[in-house]
């Protein structure tokens, strides 16, 4: 699939054999809110970071409009993207690295073609408004991803309990229920609890108007790119914290069937290593850090630095991979399905922690239908095949791990034990 992207209406470039054209300057093609941000930052964004943002939007758009079912193997697609950039030479030098990184993330084959562009009228207008604004900018010391999930909530609590200085939280949401409302509830609870400001939370929206593919493995790349672009305005080296439990980041399927839609490589060590190398090569002063890389989700809950606040807000977090699927059943509120892998890991962690769980699950006993029953059988097959003796090899299944092999191995074993203990209660 050959997809051409434009950032303004004056761009007339058309590649040979173009299949689709998406214009980011036209909301009827792709809708996003980054340039609507009214929060005052110390300076304007780095040009390389702006390029990264648009590239991430392009990747996400392609991911949404090209159906996996139309590919030869029913999964991996061939994507050829034409994207205008501000820092053409830098992206030409790092094109191969970007292709390798995104191909690993999504399981597809990506080719990028770049062309030189200048700032658009919308970007110039935004830059001038920022520079003329009389608001006092807040100089943040670190940036933290805030998805509305249980891991990100624990990450925010631990950060606010244990850090000095100013923290900026970045959220993203798309269409449908199950994301924004949870982010909003948790944001208000955190503001009230820790006395921080509303402007310490940035929330961005992006949606492909005609997106039909539901797997969207690359959404996290776009989420990260928003945070990186905002952080670039701080004009100094910044840590970008990505709170996610180490078991899910390893992306190890319980059986081969788990290489499907619920699998995610968002924080896999190999992916983060490639991403960090790309940032370094581009001169973007951001360091990606997952403070829970060697913690299971249960251990994150047990070690959370405010146990009462965590208990009181468990049901305000969303972990499900498809929280809005209840709309097919005419449900009006988003909730956990109860049987996808993230839901199972969540419930296993809560059981280990001993917390009382008042979260709403559509079916956490695996009785509602074929998908739930198939998932349960898949998990049980994976557990039967699990052998701690070979764990050091199993952790290599989803991507090469060359450092801290023993720590990752022990993490995997502990995470599998959490899941096994939870599933023992399922009849």
Per-residue pLDDT tens digits for 48-105: 999 999 999 999 999 999 999 999 988 999 999 999 999 999 999 999 999 999 999 9
User: Is there a domain that residue 291 lies in?
Assistant: no
User: Is there a domain that residue 54 lies in?
Assistant: yes
Q: What is the mean pLDDT of residues 16-25?
A: 96
Question: Can you give the pLDDT at residue 272?
Answer: 97
User: Is there a domain that residue 397 lies in?
Assistant: no
Question: Can you give the pLDDT at residue 328?
Answer: 74
Question: Can you give the pLDDT at residue 259?
Answer: 41
43: containing domain: 2-132
The residue ranges of DSSP E strands in 77-198, in sequence order, are 78-85, 109-116, 142-145, 167-173
Q: Alpha-carbon dihedral of residues 152, 103, 66, 254, nearest 10 degrees?
A: -60
- CA 138, CA 117: separation in Å to the nearest integer? 31
User: Is there a domain that residue 277 lies in?
Assistant: no
Q: What is the mean pLDDT of residues 381-404?
A: 94
Extract the tokens encoding 397: 């299944």
Question: Can you give the pLDDT at residue 98?
Answer: 98
User: Is there a domain that residue 166 lies in?
Assistant: no
User: Is there a domain that residue 396 lies in?
Assistant: no
Question: At 332, is the pLDDT very low, low, confident or very high (cuts 50, 70, 90)?
Answer: confident
8 A C-beta contact, residue 255 and residue 166: no
Q: Alpha-carbon dihedral of residues 207, 211, 217, 218, nearest 10 degrees?
A: -50
Question: At 258, is the pLDDT very low, low, confident or very high (cuts 50, 70, 90)?
Answer: very low
Question: Can you give the pLDDT at residue 261?
Answer: 45
Question: Can you give the pLDDT at residue 205?
Answer: 95
User: Is there a domain that residue 21 lies in?
Assistant: yes
Give the distance, in angstroms, between the CA of residue 147 and the centroid of all CA atoms in the same chain.
8
Question: Can you give the pLDDT at residue 59?
Answer: 98
Question: Can you give the pLDDT at residue 262?
Answer: 46
Q: What is the mean pLDDT of residues 337-341?
A: 94
Partnered with residue 32 across adjacent β-strands are: 206
Q: What is the mean pLDDT of residues 411-425?
A: 96
User: Is there a domain that residue 11 lies in?
Assistant: yes
Buried b (16+ CB within 10 A) or exposed e, 171-193: bbbbeebbbbbbbbbbbeebeee
Q: What is the mean pLDDT of residues 353-366?
A: 96
Question: Can you give the pLDDT at residue 323?
Answer: 87
User: 256 pLDDT exceeds 70?
Assistant: no
Question: Can you give the pLDDT at residue 175?
Answer: 67
Give how many domains the chain has, as a whole number.
1
Question: Can you give the pLDDT at residue 255?
Answer: 60
How many angstroms separate the Cα of 47 from the Cα of each of 18, 86, 181, 268? 27, 6, 32, 27
Least confidently predicted of 109-113, 203-207, 251-255, 418-422: 251-255
Mean pLDDT, the chain, whole residue set: 94
8 A C-beta contact, residue 218 and residue 81: no
Q: What is the mean pLDDT of residues 301-306?
A: 98
- CA 6, CA 26: separation in Å to the nearest integer? 9
Q: What is the mean pLDDT of residues 309-321?
A: 96
Q: What is the mean pLDDT of residues 229-242?
A: 98
Question: Can you give the pLDDT at residue 260?
Answer: 42
Question: Can you give the pLDDT at residue 304?
Answer: 98
Report the predicted TM-score, pTM, of the whole model to 2 decimal places.
Answer: 0.95
């Amino acid at each position: 699939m050959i997809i051409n992207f434009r950032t303004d209406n004056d761009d007339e470039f058309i590649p040979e054999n173009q299949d689709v054209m998406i214009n980011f300057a036209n909301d009827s093609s792709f809708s996003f809110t980054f340039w609507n941000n009214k929060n005052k930052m110390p300076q304007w964004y780095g040009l390389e970071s702006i390029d990264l943002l648009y590239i991430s939007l392009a990747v996400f758009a392609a991911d949404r409009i090209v159906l996996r079912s139309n590919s030869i193997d029913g999964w991996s697609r061939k994507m050829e993207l034409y994207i205008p950039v501000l820092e053409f030479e830098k992206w030409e030098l790092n094109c191969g690295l970007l292709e390798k990184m995104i191909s690993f993330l999504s399981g597809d084959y990506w080719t990028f073609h770049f062309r030189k562009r200048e700032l658009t009228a919308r970007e110039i207008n935004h830059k001038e408004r920022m520079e003329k604004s009389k608001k006092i900018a807040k100089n943040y010391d670190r940036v933290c991803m805030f998805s509305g999930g249980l891991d990100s909530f624990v990450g925010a609590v631990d950060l606010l309990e244990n850090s000095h200085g100013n923290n900026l939280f970045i959220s993203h949401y798309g269409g449908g229920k199950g994301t924004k409302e949870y982010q909003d509830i948790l944001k208000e609870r955190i503001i009230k609890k820790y006395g921080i400001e509303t402007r310490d939370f940035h929330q961005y929206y992006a949606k492909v108007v005609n997106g039909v593919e539901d797997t969207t493995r690359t959404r996290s790349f776009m989420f990260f790119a928003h945070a990186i672009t905002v952080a670039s305005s701080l004009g100094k080296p910044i840590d970008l914290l990505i709170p996610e439990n180490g078991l899910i980041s390893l992306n190890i399927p319980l059986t081969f069937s788990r290489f499907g839609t619920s699998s995610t490589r968002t924080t896999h060590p190999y992916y983060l290593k490639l991403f960090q190398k790309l940032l370094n090569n581009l001169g973007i002063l951001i360091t990606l850090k997952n403070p829970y890389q060697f913690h299971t989700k249960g251990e994150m809950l047990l070690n959370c630095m405010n146990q009462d606040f965590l208990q009181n807000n468990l049901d305000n977090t969303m972990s499900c991979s498809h929280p809005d699927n209840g709309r097919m059943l005419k449900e009006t509120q988003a909730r956990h399905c109860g049987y996808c892998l993230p839901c199972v890991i969540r419930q296993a962690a809560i059981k280990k922690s001993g917390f009382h769980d008042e979260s709403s699950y559509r079916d956490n006993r695996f009785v509602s239908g074929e998908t739930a029953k198939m998932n349960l059988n898949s998990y049980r097959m994976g557990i039967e095949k699990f052998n701690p003796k070979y764990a050091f090899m199993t952790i290599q299944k989803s991507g090469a791990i060359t450092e801290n092999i023993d720590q990752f191995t022990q993490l995997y074993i502990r995470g599998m034990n959490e899941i096994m203990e939870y599933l023992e209660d399922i009849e």
